[in-house]
Structure 1
Amino acid sequence: MTSTDAEPAGRHARGTPDRATVTAFAEIAAVMALWFWSLSRVDPGEMTDLGLVSVLPVTAFVALAALALSFGLALLRVPGTGARLLTAYPLALTLMVYLTPPLVYDTARYSWAWKHAGIVDYIDRTGGVDPFIDVLTVYHSWPGFFAFNAMLTDLAGLDSAMSYAAWAEVFFNLLTVAAVVALLRGLTDDPRTVAVAAWIFVLGNWVGQGYWSPQAISYAWYLLVVALLVHWFPGRPAAGVTHAVTTPARRAGLMGVVLLLLFCIVSTHQLTPVVTLLTVTVLVLTQRTNATTLPLLVTVLVGGWLLYVAAPFTETTLTEALAAIGAVDENVEGTLIQYDAISTGQLLVSMMSRAQTVAVVLLAGAGVIARLRRGHRGYTAFFLAAVPFTIVMFSPYGHEILFRAYLFALPGLAFFAAALLWPPSSVVTPHRMRVLLGVSLALMVGLLFSLFGNDRQYHFTEREVAAAEYVYDVAPPGTLLVEGSRNYPAQFENYDRFTYVPIAREAEEDRLEMVQHPVRVLRRWMGDSSYAASYLVITRSQKAETEALGEMPGGGLQSIEEALLKSRAFRAVLHNEDASVFVLRTQLVESGEPTATGGAR
């Protein structure tokens, strides 16, 4: 049986689902049940610096292996035209992976998710944004995501966007996979190749940008724009692809959708519009889409936003941005972690993520060669895989540019990997299934380490949240907030009232002095009368991060916390198992500040 066998879309003639399809969905349900049962046995408090992998039970790994095996068998068993149903497997894998954090952890992970909530809170309180603000300035210049969430929280009657932020990761990643499937169907008509490519995409997507963030939604929008262009507005006809035929009225409607998505992208994120412009321009120049006016339109949108809406941000960063253009070595170097400082566990996690990236790129490269040998000359997927890497020439993007380039290139890379592992219109054989199974198992291990390997510091306990809430509730405007590091649930409300000083970001000699003489240094810092008040926050997640990355010398934040607990100059106004909040005793006497213990407020 070949992948083009014509049978009624996975159904018998009498309209009932065929046995292979029923078996596939039954296996998916059983595997997911085993996975979620396994999660009920996980204690995140026992994690080592290998992250969530260190506490997953054996049954969780069995579930993943079983899903990979079921997918391989379904590729063999499910009838030809019914193979479109095989995309249920990458969707099921997405559900398993991204439902894990909200089910295992009590609160949303990633400190940046909490900071994003702070922008929503700011808009809720003030009714707008401030492009001239000193903290988290960039978000005030690209506020689309935050403005929508401010409206959503108001309509839903929620106190904070954090009420749903943890679950957004599931939604965004499901939307992304659906957009990838739509895009892949514009590259090939073979449903098995589409399913395998979507499967590889999920396994290769370790970068972790699918959480509640502007990048997550703008990435999905980017994929939808490209999918619409290659499927509904094709240029040169591509071999092996049936493009949609539609009426002028429908084309006009679809172009309206494209334009709306482009505006949303431009108003939401600073990097995605650049990648969108580059990709659309190349697709037009190479006649892969007939939407020939789009590059000019996107240029006008991006330029207008930078020069008008985001002008304050653009003016302050223009010199730095111009200096980064062409500085590929410097842009890439900042992305790579310094191995001489990190812990052994984090070294392994970093190596796994690099191996994961190299594996996907090598599979894609081999797929390019294999397609060329078969005589395929369709270059749309090649452009989708190659163009995003050009952004490394323009900016270091907060030392993340290489990871973001890989993320944008991943749909094209996944297509070529699938073209190698399961070529379009290929004969369905057990050998291909076995090869795919081996690759899948290897990538699954890499994904777990790469995506969840930092979760000892990325997840936060309710006690840590209680400490942050205490400070944001009682500290007056104009407060100095000293933090062990920026990695904790911070800035999610009233964030504009504070001046932030993370100890881990100080110069090396200052960090060393802090560890050696914490009481003396912090008395000097927090005794500055120019601030309305001063607080110090040290949390479990801060300690985990600084220890894993080797950011603090000596005993690190733990020794600072112990010294302050013993000092008569400081008082812990909140102290529990996972967090401490300190003030100078003189401030406590002057303000009559209440004390909270055990996580109570």
Structure 2
Amino acid sequence: MHLPVTSDAGPAAETSGPPAADPVGVRRRVPWGAALPLVGALALWAHSVLRTDPAGLGDFGLVGALPVTYWAALALLTGGFWYCVRDPARGGGWPAAYVLGLLLLERATQALVYPTALYAWAWKHDAVVEHLLSAGRLETTAERLGDMAVYDQWPGFFAAQAGLVRLTGAESAAVFMAWWPLFSSLLLLAPLLLVYRTFTQDRRLVWTAVWLFHVANWVGQDYFSPQSLAFALYLGVIAVVLRRGGRTEDGRRPGGRLLWTALLLPPIAAVVVSHQLTPVMLGAGLTALCLIRDRRTWALPALVVLAVVFLAWNLTVSLPFLREAVPEMLRSFGDVRGNLETGYGSTPTGTGPVTVSWVARLLSGAVLLLAALGVLRRTALRTRARPLLLLTAVPLLMLVANDYGSEMIFRVLLFMLPGACFFAAAALLPPAAAGAAPDAPDAGPVRGGRRRTALAGAALLVLTAAFVPAYAGKDRLSYFPPDEVELVRQVIDGAPPGSLVVAAHRNYPLAYASYGEIGHYWFLEDAKSHVREVLGDPAGTLARDMAGVAPPGRAYFLLTRGQIAGSEMNGMLSAAELRRIERSVADSPLFERVGGNSAGVVYALRPTTGSTP
């Protein structure tokens, strides 16, 4: 089946016949010109990985540790991609190969450079998997687990990972979670291609949009998390609805609606039982597609299935959480300004974090600006891809609903990206010449000269380079060296049931390990007045906070480099203030040192102190 080809050249250019056969001469010229930049880029990247030392990361994270050969590899890869994708005569498989190369440079570098997995939240999710494996059942109330019980009420992702751990015989999910960003990004390729090919057969536009998506997706939702899997499933459902909801070349509608709706049930159910926000985004998107007559016959059955599964789950398993959360959600509804604001400890501080934050904002702003230009400039494409344009705008409505823990703006951006990158790619690429099929090797020249091509290629290179600081510029905060992992593991393994671990900030590995038996408290997340009390009398205040632990449990004070980085880079307490707190605890007779290494130190409240301040 050949879908219409989008072009600005009018109705005559919207449809084309089968691509012409590749001329023999073209085939002989393609491999070397297309392959050499890719091979060279991968060789430079491999050399860069071997030369990158993660020790002593500065305020610019991994950016400051990468050698110049990495940037040369990125430039060579981008140039090779642009060389291959803009000319239909250079083979359809090469852009795919370059996108895979991009994913290696983007998402595999950290997995190879760092000996441990990134992100405190990834370690938190590892703890949830461990809890499911050890407990063997779900907790439906907060009586024992506190706010961690919410994960047991949306267990789809964690149950799947627990099954994978048992199936592979791995020690824990931490064995493979460092590679999850690459895996989750690969999962997005198929649905992205299906979505984009629904609206155009111009492979230049399709692959440039895919490239831009992975460049613009810096927000970090690809890590070991329910959101990463739920987003891939969301995109898969949308792709099927869009793909089956159109018309074939002869004007007929695809059949098999009942069968395809039944096939959508498993991914929809997986989304509902894995994540709180994604089903809402999926429902909003399907509702928007119901407004378009050609898509309604497929979007409506999928929406009904989603509504039934969503209500069934939320009125049973997740009801305990919703009873407490819904009143707060109603209070924040309509407060767009409040939903956009970040909370205490979310403001980048210091030259590196501020610069990285602005690079990320400019990257997103540039892609969205290009998308707006593409919508305005490509009239025929805008008309044909109206469903995708609508899906791009719908996530903005979520800014009215909730702040989602000060993260709603990032989630909105994530769900806007598939459509935004499609139209941004249209802005970078010149429209195909009238009457030409962009897939055909003899399609002829496109409108736009060498200067335009060079400017567009330069823009693509700048956007691609900006991804690195936007994505890896905070690795000082996200990376935990083996010494830090080992120190925290010693604390957790040696703590009796009922113990309490007190820390400044939750940014350290295994921060939630054994959360069913061991309590965790981070005083920088308490009221600012209490933080001032800790600063005024560190040892005395912390001793009072820790005095309620009943034997045989013990109370521990833990300070690690990850906490210091998280506090400093997020505008909380400085390293000097945290070190002063540590010295007060070290000098106090109320505490005894029970462990420490190059990454941190741990003290225990002496059992004889009781509740003495």
Q: TM exceeds 0.5?
A: yes
Question: What does 1:305-384 correspond to in 2, within 5 Å?
Answer: 305-334=313-342, 342-372=349-379, 376=383, 378-384=385-391
Is the deviation greater in 424-433 or in 351-360? 424-433
1:263 is the counterpart of 2:272: no
SS at match of 1:308: coil
**Match of residue 308 from structure 2:** 300
**Match of residue 151 from structure 1:** 163
Question: What does 1:517-536 correspond to in 2, within 5 Å?
Answer: 517-530=537-550, 532-536=553-557
Query: Within 2, Cα distance between the matches of 1:468 and 1:533?
Result: 15
> Deviations 1:74-122 (Å, cap 9, x if unpaired)?
1345517x33542332222112110011111111101111111111111
Asked whether the equivalents of residues 498 and 519 of structure 2 are also in contact (C-alpha less than 8 Å), the reply is yes
Is the deviation greater in 52-61 or in 341-350? 341-350
**Match of residue 115 from structure 1:** 124
**Match of residue 176 from structure 2:** 164
**Match of residue 478 from structure 1:** 498
**Match of residue 282 from structure 1:** 288
Deviation, structure 1 residue 153:
0.8
For residue 382 of structure 1, what is the amino acid of its counterpart? L
Query: Within 2, Cα distance between the matches of 1:437 and 1:244?
Result: 39
> Deviations 1:367-398 (Å, cap 9, x if unpaired)?
11002388845411211211111111111111
Deviation, structure 1 residue 409:
0.7
Aligned CA distance change for structure 1 residues 77 and 467 (closer, same or farther; 3 Å): same
Asked whether the equivalents of residues 231 and 243 of structure 1 are also in contact (C-alpha less than 8 Å), the reply is no
> Deviations 1:51-85 (Å, cap 9, x if unpaired)?
111111111111111111111211345517x3354
Query: Within 2, Cα distance between the matches of 1:336 and 1:567?
Result: 29
Aligned CA distance change for structure 1 residues 243 and 486 (closer, same or farther; 3 Å): farther
Question: What does 1:187-586 correspond to in 2, within 5 Å?
Answer: 187-234=199-246, 248=256, 253-289=259-295, 290-291=297-298, 292-334=300-342, 342-372=349-379, 376=383, 378-423=385-430, 425-426=432-433, 427-428=445-446, 429-491=449-511, 493-530=513-550, 532-552=553-573, 555-586=576-607
Asked whether the equivalents of residues 76 and 430 of structure 1 are also in contact (C-alpha less than 8 Å), the reply is no
Asked whether the equivalents of residues 334 and 400 of structure 2 are also in contact (C-alpha less than 8 Å), the reply is yes
- RMSD over aligned CA atoms reads 2.7
Deviation, structure 1 residue 408:
0.5
Asked whether the equivalents of residues 87 and 198 of structure 1 are also in contact (C-alpha less than 8 Å), the reply is no
Q: 1:88 aligns with which of 97, 108, 116?
A: 97
Q: 2:63 aligns with which of 41, 46, 53?
A: 53
Aligned CA distance change for structure 1 residues 76 and 180 (closer, same or farther; 3 Å): closer
For residue 350 of structure 2, what is the amino acid of its counterpart? S
Consecutive unaligned residues of structure 1, counting only runs of 5 or more, are 590-601
Query: Within 2, Cα distance between the matches of 1:293 and 1:389?
Result: 24
SS at match of 1:106: coil
SS at match of 2:521: strand
SS at match of 1:415: helix
**Match of residue 190 from structure 2:** 178
Query: Within 1, Cα distance between the matches of 2:569 and 2:395?
Result: 31
Question: For this pair of structures, how many residues does the alignment match?
Answer: 578
For residue 65 of structure 1, what is the amino acid of its counterpart? A
Deviation, structure 1 residue 288:
4.4
Asked whether the equivalents of residues 40 and 76 of structure 2 are also in contact (C-alpha less than 8 Å), the reply is no
Q: Percent identity?
A: 33
State TM-score, norm by structure 2. Answer: 0.88
SS at match of 2:92: helix
For residue 235 of structure 2, what is the amino acid of its counterpart? L
**Match of residue 62 from structure 1:** 72
Deviation, structure 1 residue 458:
0.4
For residue 140 of structure 2, what is the amino acid of its counterpart? P
Aligned CA distance change for structure 1 residues 232 and 496 (closer, same or farther; 3 Å): same
Query: Within 2, Cα distance between the matches of 1:178 and 1:383?
Result: 21
Deviation, structure 1 residue 530:
3.8
Over 4 Å off, 4+ runs: 2-9, 11-14, 241-247, 335-339
Query: Within 2, Cα distance between the matches of 1:7 and 1:315?
Result: 58
Aligned CA distance change for structure 1 residues 106 and 308 (closer, same or farther; 3 Å): same
Asked whether the equivalents of residues 109 and 458 of structure 1 are also in contact (C-alpha less than 8 Å), the reply is yes
Query: Within 1, Cα distance between the matches of 2:458 and 2:555?
Result: 56
Aligned CA distance change for structure 1 residues 587 and 225 (closer, same or farther; 3 Å): farther
For residue 98 of structure 2, what is the amino acid of its counterpart? Y
Asked whether the equivalents of residues 44 and 104 of structure 1 are also in contact (C-alpha less than 8 Å), the reply is yes
Deviation, structure 1 residue 12:
5.3
Asked whether the equivalents of residues 483 and 536 of structure 1 are also in contact (C-alpha less than 8 Å), the reply is yes
Asked whether the equivalents of residues 109 and 166 of structure 1 are also in contact (C-alpha less than 8 Å), the reply is yes
Query: Within 2, Cα distance between the matches of 1:529 and 1:415?
Result: 56
Is the deviation greater in 287-296 or in 298-307? 287-296
SS at match of 1:582: strand
Aligned CA distance change for structure 1 residues 85 and 335 (closer, same or farther; 3 Å): farther
SS at match of 2:508: coil
Aligned CA distance change for structure 1 residues 543 and 38 (closer, same or farther; 3 Å): same
**Match of residue 593 from structure 1:** none
Query: Within 1, Cα distance between the matches of 2:43 and 2:512?
Result: 35
